[in-house]
Amino acid sequence: MTGTLMEGFLRFEHEPYHNFQDPATAQAQEKAFRSVREQYVGRTFPMIIAGREATGEKMHDVHNPADTREVVWRFPNATHAQREEAIAAAKAAFEDWRFSDPFQRATIFKRAAELLRARRFEFNAVMTLENGKNWSEADGEVAESVDHFEVFAREAMRWAQGKAVYPMPDEHVTTVYEPLGVVACINPWNFPSAIPLGMALGAIAAGNTVIWKPASDTPLSSYLMVELLFQAGLPRGVIQFVTGDHDVLGDDLVDHKDIRMIAFTGSKNIGCRIYERASKVHPGQRWLKRVIAEMGGKDPMVICADADLDEAAAGIVAAAFGYAGQKCSACSRVIAEDSVYDALLEKVVERAKRLKVGLPEDNADLGPVIHERAARNILRYIEGGKKTAKLVLGGDQPDMGDRRGGYVNPTIFSEVEPNDPLFQEEIFGPVLAFSRARDWRHAIELANDSEYGLTASFYSRDPHKITEARKLMHFGNLYINRKCTGALSGTHAFGGYGMSGTNAKVGGPDYLFWFMQTKTIAQRY
């Protein structure tokens, strides 16, 4: 960004990750775990409605995935009346916030970034205790949240300038962008900081107000982020933080006549349901609702015969088994040319064997999936795969002693056919399918053989093959000679094709447009 628009802003740089191999850094993270356990474990936290703390008639427990016998904290379940109060409060707050100075919004985001930098170890620890990420995975997400604050500060200023139009001889014509209204942000458990924050900041930076509904498995990561925004100066009515069950915060929230837009990240089934329900105009509703949705993936990594197999194997293992495969961008399919298939498979299996399953709080390579129910679903896929493909690694659960949790060993199947559920369906766990391709063009065909189209990787040294892959691979995020996870806010605009969602591209230069409407103003001289 150049010119006077960004005067006063330093050049944007991505927040660096912590190096936990450094003893002092590791000690700081361990200290944060002790502090979080002392300050937060066992507490009951409130909702935030109309700027005030609110409790509920019922509470729900949040369990530690590393040992689900441990209840780490509790949150209330909103009532129907509290949902209505929250929407009314967001609607009222919109009348002021819509006219707020974009520089005010940017200043709040910049201040929030500084506050979060000072508390990264704390936020890492909270996330680990409620969704099972190890230190590095949690730290990467919190660093991305810092980046979001910095990126959206700049985007708020950029979009406030409007766009130039072709002039008229007797009129002054401008194109400006105005906010929509109340945006319901419905959030996932696997990225409880960065994903909710990205959607909410898109709304707020554009001048909208937000109903922030966190996943019931991971509410504290969201609650602390909302409170941090308030501490940075965001008016408390701009976000309504509401927790609870789908019977109150599901269909009825989506259907509400005063909800102008829904921003959703989660499963394909729920995303499609939201998209369908939002298309209906309810009595008293004066607009067509807008929906953005990110709904998962079945992400391939294509390995050509001329690829660097060691680099490819390292990328595959990191992308497939980081956070136990519980990323919408995780590699779940490897499609390799026949001539290098066996050698690549051997390298990947050897690397995956070195992964240690253990406690996220101890920074194990691989922790549990979110809960035992998710593990049972993953194991069903594994049992089916044993009948249709060749199991070459894992396929079972580790012995974790008396701990209860959804632990699944890193699992790799080879000789997976394109019609196999292992190849086509999102499993959302540490399960990787290897498939053979006749040649690199066949590999691209197989990669595209999916209803999803979120992320993909293509490994080759050949410029011609790379050029063809750039044109032909049907994915919202395509990575060449690198893993398919690890998108950086402001650089790798993130969002997919097909049933992966609406391609809204969070963290990208067009994202705020989704949260705005365009006004043309022509004034005759």
Cα–Cα–Cα angle for 217, 218, 221, nearest 5°?
A: 170
188 lies in the same domain as 229: yes
247 lies in the same domain as 324: no
On whether residue 380 sits in a domain, the answer given is: yes
Of 441, 339, 340, 427, nearest to 389 by C-alpha is: 427
**CATH code for the domain of 428:** 3.40.309.10
484 lies in the same domain as 360: yes
Measured distance CA(358)–CA(241) in Å, rounded: 33
218 lies in the same domain as 106: yes
CA distances from 385 to 301, 376, 390, 398, 411 (A): 20, 14, 8, 19, 11
- Return the pLDDT at 9: 79
Please write the tens of the pLDDT for every residue from 144-191: 999 999 999 999 999 999 999 999 999 999 999 999 999 999 999 999
Domain count, the chain: 2
Measured distance CA(156)–CA(101) in Å, rounded: 10
On whether residue 160 sits in a domain, the answer given is: yes
On whether residue 2 sits in a domain, the answer given is: no
238 lies in the same domain as 304: no
Measured distance CA(243)–CA(219) in Å, rounded: 8
- Return the pLDDT at 1: 42
- Return the pLDDT at 6: 58
On whether residue 17 sits in a domain, the answer given is: no
178 lies in the same domain as 314: no
In the chain, pLDDT over 90 holds for what percent of residues? 97
271 lies in the same domain as 374: no
**CATH code for the domain of 246:** 3.40.605.10
On whether residue 347 sits in a domain, the answer given is: yes
DSSP state of 53: E
Q: Per mean pLDDT, which range of 4-13, 150-159, 367-376 is the poorest?
A: 4-13
- Return the pLDDT at 3: 45
290 lies in the same domain as 306: no
Q: Which domain holds residue 410?
A: 299-489
Please write the tens of the pLDDT for every residue from 197-225: 999 999 999 999 999 999 999 999 999 99
The four Cα atoms 147, 161, 493, 327 give a dihedral, to 10 degrees, of: 60
The pLDDT of residue 2 is above 90: no
- Return the pLDDT at 49: 98
On whether residue 287 sits in a domain, the answer given is: yes
Pairing of strands 431-437, 331-337: parallel
The pLDDT of residue 4 is above 60: no
Please write the tens of the pLDDT for every residue from 68-106: 999 999 999 999 999 999 999 999 999 999 999 999 999
482 lies in the same domain as 517: no
In DSSP notation, 248-304 reads HHSHHHHH-TTEEEEEEES-HHHHHHHHHHHTSPPTT--SPPEEEEE----EEEEE-
Q: Which residues are catalytic?
A: 294
On whether residue 41 sits in a domain, the answer given is: yes
Mean pLDDT, to the nearest integer, of 56-66?
Answer: 95
235 lies in the same domain as 383: no
On whether residue 498 sits in a domain, the answer given is: no
145 lies in the same domain as 208: yes
Phi-psi domain of 495 (left: phi exceeds 0; alpha: psi -120 through 50; beta: other) = left
- Return the pLDDT at 11: 87
The pLDDT of residue 407 is above 80: yes
- Return the pLDDT at 117: 98
Please write the tens of the pLDDT for every residue from 468-517: 999 999 999 999 999 999 999 999 999 999 999 999 999 999 999 999 99
413 lies in the same domain as 444: yes
- Return the pLDDT at 10: 80
Band (7; pLDDT cuts 50, 70, 90):
low
Please write the tens of the pLDDT for every residue from 280-339: 999 999 999 999 999 999 999 999 999 999 999 999 999 999 999 999 999 999 999 999
- Return the pLDDT at 238: 98
